[in-house]
Each structure stands twice: as C-alpha cells, then as structure tokens.
Structure 1
Amino acid sequence: MHRITIVTDAWHPQVNGVVRSIENTILHLSDLGADVRLITPSGFRSIPCPTYPEIRLSVTTYGKVAAALERCRPSFVHIATEGPLGLLARRWCLKNGRPFTTCYHTRFPEYVAARFPVPEAWLYRFVRWFHNAGAACMVATQSLEDELAARGLKRLVRWSRGIDTDRFRPREKTPEPFGLKRPLFVSIGRVAPEKNLPAFLDLDLPGSKMVVGDGPARRQLEARYPDVLFTGVKHGEDLARLFAEADVFVFPSRTDTFGNTILEALASGVPVAAYPVTGPIDILADHRQAGALDEDLRQACLRALSCAPEAARRVAETYSWEAASRQFLDNILEANDVMPRNRTGLKRVVSRVIRKRSGTAGR
C-alpha cells in the first residue's frame, strides 16, 4: 500500500469546493490501494483570516509541520493549497529532495487583489514560484489549463470532479417552497464578494430568489435584498432537497475554477444559468439543453427555464468521484515516476493498481 499525505489549509468546518473535493477523493482512494493521511489546520493553532473569519490560518513553525510529515512517512506528498501549511510542506519537500504535486483550486491572485492593494501580476509571480517547484499541478478543466499555461505555469495535469448522484437527484417539487412563488431561482455556495451574488440578486426575474450558504457578505446582502430568502448553510439531505426544489440554479461567479455546485444542481435535475467562463463553459458548453450560458445573466436565467431536467441529469451522470479519484492517483504516480530514485518502487505500485482494477473491472 502506498501512503499519500495531503496537506491542506482548507478543511472543516469550512464549507467549500476544496474541502468537498478532498474529502470525496479520499473516500475512494482506499479502494485504489492508498493509505491517505491529512495535515490540516485542525492540528495547529490558528487565527481567523483577515476579511474572511470563517477561514482559519494555521500559526505554526516549520519544525512542527516537518515533524507531522515525518510521522506520516509518506510515499507521496500532495499540497492542496498555497496557505501557511502548504508553504511549509513545500519547504520540507524541497529540503529533503522529495517530489510533490499541487492543485490550483482557487483563483488566489484575484481573491487577494480584491481585498488588498496588491497587483495581480505580483501574486501570479508567487503562484508560479509555488506550483512550478512541484512535479505536477492539477487543474480541473481545459479552459483553466490553457489560462494558467499562458501565465507560465508548467506540468499541468487534469483532475476533474465528481458528484454523488444518489444523494443529489430529482425529487418532487412543492408548489410554494418556503411560501415562495415559482419559478424559484436559487444560488448555493459561499456568500462572499468573489461569488458575485449581486449580479444575480439585482436581476429582474419572475417568481422568487433564494440564497443558500453563509459567509462574510451575508449580513450586508440580507439587508440590501429583503425580498430574497437567505437560508444559511445546509448539509446532507437538507441541502440535496433544496437543490431539487429549484427551477433554475444560478451560478453568478466569474472566478471559480470549476463549480462543484453546478454538478450538484445538474444531478438534481435543475438546469443551470451562468456566465460563459471557466467552470460553467467546460461543463455546459456542449449541453445546451442542460443550461444556459450568456454574458447577460438575466437572459441565461430565462432561457434555463425552458431547459430539460432530464438533460441536466444526464450531464451529471458523466461525472463520478470514483473516476476523479483514479485520475488523482494516476497524476501522483505519473508525476513521481519521472523522478529516477522513485522509479522502481512506483512501477510496482502501478502494477498493483492495474491488477486491482483488472480484478474488479467485471463486477
């Protein structure tokens, strides 16, 4: 069994795509012969992130992170985030001659530049420095890969995402959920400036609007839009039922690198309205009956009303966490296999994985 240590600054109690992607991948990696260990902020003292207190930043030392990594005895190291833990893990890998992989989950430069007077060009210089030291940087979509390659990132490989189509599924809709008139337009996710929610909430649309989630902008937006229902964070079956109640799922963000909630909506049989940007365009561009993309978000919302729930569901069924987890593992094995000192051991690992898949392929 090969040991993978994942270092991430994003973890519970945060509710976001990074956390969900990591935890869902971990659930399937054990079936592929992996023993996964996590290094997260839960193991260290932390402080609230400035302007975003829901995110905790670890306050620790190189020695403590190095000791945590050595206790894990990793065969492979994957660094998920560019935060304090990610930086210290990167330092440990380079100091010890250990290859590592990374992932570009979040538009870090844009988010920081929106909050502090730091030029994006400087921040992308940091991004190149951080990721280009690794053996591979995983990205979710082709459009993101093209964009990052143009910005000088190297060794980009694909890691898609999945969806639990058992939990997120079409359900019978209630006539007036929460007393709201239909059609019901819903946005689900972090209630934060980078999600561009006013672009949705300002629209003149028939029926009602609902926002599910929490974040630093919630109080301000609730006061500004008294006719919109803000439900706060929902989990599990409660969340799945809310997805299924929507007539249209509205995704107003222009800065997400994928958009896991898009898949959750599609799996629920709910068409999606979004801008034609990275994430939505990769998922929906070839599936016009499952949603609508338009620079005029109002037009996208209105067109999505006539899209087919069955088409939305069919798109979601092409994604699975099992396939995404295999892709993640393959990326790690291939990235590390380019390192001569690991070549022999990795060939044995790859052979075991192939044998395991062959033995289960017909089940």
Structure 2
Amino acid sequence: MRVLIATDAWRPQINGVVRSLERMYEAGPAHGVTPQMLTPEGFWQIGLPSYPDIRLALATRRAISKRIAEFKPDHIHIATEGPIGWLTRAVCLAQKRTFTTSYHTRFPQYVAARWPIPESWSYRFLRRFHGPAAGVMVSTATVEAELEQHGFERILRWGRGVDLALFHPRPVSVLDLPRPIFLSVGRVAVEKNLEAFLSLRLPGSKVVVGDGPARADLQRAFPDVTFLGTREGEDLASIYASSDVFVFPSLTDTFGIVLLEAAASGLPVAAFPVQGPSDVFAGSGAAVLDEDLRGAALAALRIPRETCLELASGYSWQSSADQFYGHIFRIAQQARQAQNVTTFATVHAEEGPARERLRA
C-alpha cells in the first residue's frame, strides 16, 4: 500500500509533530506500507509572520497535484492545516479521493496567545478543514472530547510513543550546575508559556533546551537561566538524564512528547493540570500537576525515578504506528468497498436500458 503523508511541519523544524511523522514514515515498511512525505521541501518558502523559523511553502495546487500523480498513493493523510495541507485537501476533494487528517496543536488557543482572534473563529476554520476527512486523528481522550464539543466528527485515537533505547537514565551528569536542576525542553515561543516557569523562585538551576522567536527576549529577562539552544539525539537524552525535575508550563499542547522523553529518562514532571499532562500522567504518580507551578516543581523532587520509568514503559512508537496505519487500512478498505458498490450500481444502471433496446 502506498501512503502519502502531507505536512507543513518538517525538518529543519524540531518539534513533536515532526518527530511523530518521522516515526510513522520509518514504521511504514514494517506495516506493508510504502510511505512518501509531501513537505515544503522543493518549494519556495517564506517565514511564518512572527515566527520566521517556521517556513511556509509557496506551492500551487497544480504542483501538489503533480506530486500526488507521480506517487500514485492508495491513501493520503494530511497532518497539518498549513498551505501544504490546504492544497492537498483541495486536490483530494477535486479528485474525490478519500483522506484522513490529524490534529496536533490546540490551534485556537495558540492563535489567541498571539493575536486577538476569538477561539470560535479558529474552531470554525478547523471544522471546515477537517470536515471532509474520513477520520481526524487525535492523541488523547481530552482532545477528542474538546473537538466533539465543537462539532467535529469521525474522530480517531492515535497515541504517541517514546524511544526507550535513547531516553533512559545515565550514571554520569553532563550538566555542571547547582542542584536541583529544573529543565524545560521545547519551542521557545510565547504559546509555550515559558515565562511561567522562568519567573518561579526555585533553588538550584533552571535550564531551557530549544530555540524560537522568544529566546532572545527571555534570555535578557532571565539572565540566571541557562539556555542551551537546540539539542538532539544522545546530547538531548543526556541533558534529560542529568536533570532533577522536568517543568512543563504549556497550557496549549495536546500531548507533549517531551513529557514521555522526560519520564523515560527517570525525570519527574511538574505541570499545570491541563490536557496533555493530565492525559499522560493521570493516576501514575510520575508527575505533580498543580495551578501552583512552583509548589509542583518542589514536590516533584520527591517522586522516585522508578515511578517515572514505569509510566514511560507503557508507551512505544510501535503501538503508535499500529494505530496510525490501522486507521488508514480500515478507511482505505471502506473506500474501496464503497467504490465497488458504486461501480456495480452504475454498470447495472447502464445495462438496464441496453437490455430494453435489445428486446425492442
């Protein structure tokens, strides 16, 4: 089976969406799938206003249609609501192709954090985008319930995983800083609510891994914080394992893969009691979720690392890929069956008048 995954989020971006899609691409062959990515690569690009690190493709519907025709996919999955996503959606609708979508970010809240746009307008925009999809994949039950409340239909669960071979405790620390070390990893942007973490009165050290448009301002405002920039692979995993508490101040993430990476590294989590952290850590004892983020960070120091490791062991990218491709296989099969029924009905409708003419 040939599956095309269309996404505006791709390298050189480093975030949970890109990581998830990379994993699905890698898992394709093991599921009998030949995957191909349709990304901004190969198109002229411009920076997203207020966030130049995110590049938007200046593609055309004709160019997208050509890419699709060259690959000849059996199914198309549209991962993001950007230019690539909208153009791919337009081609699918014009060609009467069945497609699925996924919802990764609490887009209405993300937009509201940057511009004075009512959330109801954003949800209307999102319903229009995802409405024609045969299925909308979301990461948690909380996101599913939220979208259902806003009129979304055909919602499917697609969980996330963590690379346990990479993220695990390590005997040696790579951070030579006063302890305890409170860590945050992710995009350094206003919607991540990092200031809520950086402004806390905490002992020891605060460390931020990641980059983004808010980094320069935050570094000036909080000179006592260690900003390490973007880190990946073994380097990132070692930083997780060298810290004492992972602080996740975001109010808008639907899941937060960094939460699983922290837990897999034996790192307890402090966060607000919002969707994402609540879905991941419910009843696990591996996190402290509280409106008092300072109190949560200090309380998390008492959580045994074994509790965090036990939580992380329940997540895998294999099970995530099983869900992702399982939905696609089922929907593609339903589309084929519907097409066969339509073809059968059309043939018989055309044969009726022909038989009547023969009798005459």
TM-score range, shorter chain: over 0.9
Q: Is the 8 A contact 2:76 2:100 kept in 1?
A: yes
2:350 counterpart residue number: none
1:334 aligned residue: 330
Deviation by residue 1:330-363 (Cα, 9 ceiling, x = unmatched): 111223333354677xxxxxxxxxxxxxxxxxxx
Amino acid at match of 2:296: A
Give the corresponding residue for 2:252. Answer: 255
- Which residue number in structure 1 is paired with residue 348 of structure 2? none
Query: What's 2:202 paired with?
Result: 205
**Partner residue of 1:321?**
317
Residue 43 of structure 1, CA deviation: 2.0
Q: 1:275 aligns with which of 272, 276, 281?
A: 272
Per the TM alignment, residue 173 of structure 1 is displaced from its structure 2 partner at its CA by 4.3
Query: Any gaps of 5 or more consecutive residues in structure 2?
Result: 341-360
Rounded to whole Å, the distance in 1 between the matches of 2:207 and 2:226 is 5
Structure 1 342/4 Cα, relative in aligned 2: closer, same or farther at 3 Å?
farther
Q: CA RMSD in A?
A: 1.4
**In the TM superposition, what are the counterparts of 1:76-115 in structure 2 within 5 Å?**
76-115=75-114
The number of residue pairs the alignment matches comes to: 341
Shift of 1:75: 0.3
- In 2, Cα distance between equivalents of 1:197 and 1:336: 42
Shift in CA distance, 248/65, structure 1 to aligned 2, threshold 3 Å = same
Name the counterpart of 2:37.
Answer: 38
| Aligned equivalent of 1:71 | 70
**Residue equivalent to 2:231:** 234
For 1:284 and 1:328, how far apart are their aligned partners in 2?
A: 22
Question: Contact 2:205–2:225 at 8 Å: present in 1 too?
Answer: yes
Shift of 1:206: 1.3
| 2:223 paired with 1:243 | no
TM-score scaled to structure 1, two decimals? 0.91
- Code of the residue aligned with 1:287 in structure 2: it is S
2:138 counterpart residue number = 139
Report matched runs for 1:283-294 at 5 Å.
Answer: 283-288=280-285, 290-294=286-290
Q: TM-score, normalised by structure 2?
A: 0.92
SS in structure 1 of the partner of residue 332 of structure 2 = helix
1:110-150 deviation digits (Å, cap 9, x = unpaired): 22232233222111101011111100000000111111111
* Match in the other structure for 1:300: 296
Contact persistence 1:336–1:342 (CA under 8 A)? no
CA distance in 1 between counterparts of 2:125 and 2:55 reads 21
SS state at 1:230 partner = strand
Q: Which runs of 4+ in 1 moved over 4 A?
A: 340-344
Alignment match, 2:167: 168
2:352 paired residue number: none
Using the alignment, how far apart are the partners of 2:204 and 2:305 within structure 1?
19
Q: CA–CA distance in 2 between the matches of 1:338 and 1:37?
A: 22
Is it true that 1:309 corresponds to 2:305 in the alignment? yes
Deviations 1:222-271 (A, max 9, x none): 00000000000001110000010110000000100100000000000111
Aligned residue number for residue 60 of structure 2: 61
Structure 1 residue 103: Cα displacement: 0.3
Asked whether the 8 Å contact 1:29–1:326 carries over to 2, the reply is: no
Whichever residue aligns with residue 63 of structure 1, its letter is: R
Within the alignment, does 1:151 sit opposite 2:147 as a pair? no
**Contact 2:175–2:239 (Cα < 8 Å) also in 1:** no
> What residue ranges of structure 1 are gaps of 5+ in the alignment?
345-363
Instruction: Give the 3-state SS of the residue equivalent to 2:164 in structure 1.
Output: coil
